[in-house]
Structure 1
Amino acid sequence: MSRRKERGRGRRARLAAGGAAGAAVVALAGAASLGHLGGRSTSSEPAASPPATAEVTRKTMERWITVEGTVTYGAARPLTGHAQGTVTWLPAPGTVLRRGDELARIDDRPVVLLYSDLPAYRELARGVKGEDVLAFTTNLAALGYGGFTPGETYTEGVEAAVKRWQKALGVPESGKISLGDVVYADGPRRVARRGATVGGAAVPDLLTVTGTTPRARFSVPAEDSELAVKGVRLKVSAADGKSTDATVTTVGIPHTDESGEQVQDVAASLTRPSAVTGGGAGGLTGRYLAGRHEKVLTVPVSAVLALAGGGYGVEVLDGNGRSHVVAVRLGLFVDGRVEVSGDGLSPGTRVGAAR
């Protein structure tokens, strides 16, 4: 399951984005821990110049949420059959099975995948009628075996087509479909793992399979909940640096993970799956732009003062060896700097800062 990257820096950014209360904690901790509050005036009266200074700059501030995840193909389900005997072949995990493909060989006889929502439950032979006959004959026609009209009756034409199909499969041309010869799924399936062992006895759940469309899966910490929203777009990268855009399609219920952290599992569709999936599942990194403020004023976090009467300020140098405190509002925190706004501030203004 994915973990949050750069926990310390990310938490500071989140507190800042959370409003005044969050920013207060960060500013107070950042300034006090570096000594900017120790012995310095936080009143509006002129004071001696601080021991260190910094410059107000104008820049675009971006706050990114970064999470780690994996490739997923959706929920895994058993592919259940009825063949009995010894397993002589099974496809490898990762194999994609489509209509007409062998999903196993039992006693060296193929078990074939067909498409239907209705499972196989009886032998099919001439004269049998029912929806299962319709499902089978529809598949037989789709595989290119004609000479009949798909329907709910197993006709002489169906029997003849079945014999041609059996000849192509290399099995006795009985014209009948025994229970266990075919297994139905509602579409293509990707093998997740084997449920039986080659050389061992056949079991009902020969394979566990998933869908075939890869998606990105992330476990998002509660404090990054803005990422756990359907429709959110993010950039997903593989270990080799290749990347693609993605869109959150599924959001799980908040829960506590194995480390005791509150998280939500999200899945995202990939615009170009081949860019990040390679030959199979692997680690992914997801990045989401949670905030972007264009061309704002910024100062180092260490320049922020917690004012005695509440709120925050910066100590502005007047150019004559004196300084005064200007109240400021705080915005995004990024890479050790914080967005500020207040009267009299402009790019190039010198402010006091902790060493």
Structure 2
Amino acid sequence: MAAEGAVIRRGHPLLKIDRKPLVLMYGRLPLYRQLRQGITDGPDVKQWQDDLGLPKTGRVDATQVVSAPATVRVTEAKVDVGERTGPGQGVLRVSGIRQLVHVDLDTDDQALARKGAGVTVKLPGGERIGGKITSVGTVAKSARSGQGQGQDSGETTVDVDITLNKTPRTKLDQAPVDVELESERHKDVLAVPVEALLALREGGFGVEVVEGSATRVVPVEVGVFGSGKVEISGTGLTEGMKVGVPAT
């Protein structure tokens, strides 16, 4: 049986049943009849011929072949070697080899997820990598909570899938990540770390501008927040000014 994490390509066995290999072949249509010499052509036969590049000879049936659209990665072995199985019992769980991020997005935030929009994914260990939303679900489902995830939390979510722009350095499978979605974009604005904001006694916010050994507080209007920074505007503010932040 292929080990968890193994990458299986066309023509290679996923497992053996009674010492007979179950081979992966590429195609979206499962083998639904025995292939043998003299059988009439059909989409399954053409699929088999395309995969092998050979004329149809001998016999092939569903006990010898499993179909998948492309190369797969084994994500879970559901039985042990030598264990007996029965009809309908799962043996292996596989996935594609392209790394994908899945988000159960609260329906209140659904407007933030637009197909094709860019996102930032923060991986365990702090690595940040860009990605793109490839699909957004249209059917809301109930979120689960509680022991065994069997209780309805009262919240609803939609499925959002994201592909990464490049292969991350972090080698993880099914790991929790943080995803930053863009609500709106403002260009050519002044921004400071969120920690630089000061709550003013008279209300509103300000920043401490550092000019050599002197400092002064300048009232500001705040705009959008993102990636630890906040948009600001105010009289006398210019690009390149230094602002104070709390010591860490």
Q: TM-score range by the shorter chain?
A: 0.5 to 0.7
Matched, 1:109 2:20: yes
Larger relative contact order (CA 8 Å, sep ≥ 6)? 1
Q: Return 5+ residue gaps in structure 1 as ranges.
A: 1-89, 159-174, 306-311, 315-327, 348-355
Which of 108, 130, 134 is residue 249 of structure 1 equivalent to?
134
Residues 299 and 340, structure 1, Cα contact 8 Å, conserved in 2: no
Q: Structure 2 CA distance, aligned partners of 1:124 and 1:191?
A: 27
Q: Which structure has more helix as a fraction of its residues?
A: 1
Aligned ranges for residues 212-223 of structure 1 at < 5 Å?
212-221=97-106
Residues 13 and 22, structure 2, Cα contact 8 Å, conserved in 1: yes
Q: Structure 2 CA distance, aligned partners of 1:340 and 1:304?
A: 18
Q: Compared with structure 1, are the counterparts of its residues 112 and 295 closer, same or farther at alpha carbon in structure 2 (3 Å cutoff)?
A: closer
- Which secondary structure does the structure 1 equivalent of 2:48 belong to? helix
Matched, 1:283 2:195: no
Residues 193 and 207, structure 1, Cα contact 8 Å, conserved in 2: yes
Question: What's the TM-score once normalised by structure 2's chain length?
Answer: 0.64
- Which secondary structure does the structure 2 equivalent of 1:135 belong to? helix
Q: Return 5+ residue gaps in structure 2 as ranges.
A: 146-152, 207-219, 238-248
Match of 1:295 in 2: 190
Residues 97 and 188, structure 1, Cα contact 8 Å, conserved in 2: yes
Which of 80, 92, 96 is residue 3 of structure 2 equivalent to?
92
Aligned ranges for residues 48-63 of structure 1 at < 5 Å?
none
Q: Structure 1 CA distance, aligned partners of 2:229 and 2:72?
A: 49
**Structure 1 residue 244: Cα displacement:** 1.9
Match of 2:243 in 1: none
Q: Structure 2 CA distance, aligned partners of 1:243 and 1:103?
A: 34
Q: Compared with structure 1, are the counterparts of its residues 255 and 203 closer, same or farther at alpha carbon in structure 2 (3 Å cutoff)?
A: closer
Question: What's the TM-score once normalised by structure 1's chain length?
Answer: 0.47
Residues 104 and 110, structure 1, Cα contact 8 Å, conserved in 2: yes
What amino acid is the match of 1:190? R
- Which secondary structure does the structure 2 equivalent of 1:275 belong to? coil
Match of 1:234 in 2: 119
Identical amino acids, percent of aligned pairs = 26
Q: Compared with structure 1, are the counterparts of its residues 130 and 261 closer, same or farther at alpha carbon in structure 2 (3 Å cutoff)?
A: same
Q: Structure 2 CA distance, aligned partners of 1:279 and 1:299?
A: 37
What amino acid is the match of 2:52? L
Q: Compared with structure 1, are the counterparts of its residues 302 and 262 closer, same or farther at alpha carbon in structure 2 (3 Å cutoff)?
A: farther
| Higher-Rg member (1/2) | 1
Match of 1:270 in 2: 164
Q: Compared with structure 1, are the counterparts of its residues 270 and 304 closer, same or farther at alpha carbon in structure 2 (3 Å cutoff)?
A: farther
Residues 114 and 184, structure 1, Cα contact 8 Å, conserved in 2: yes
What amino acid is the match of 2:112? L
**Structure 1 residue 262: Cα displacement:** 5.0
Q: Structure 2 CA distance, aligned partners of 1:270 and 1:199?
A: 38
Match of 1:121 in 2: 32
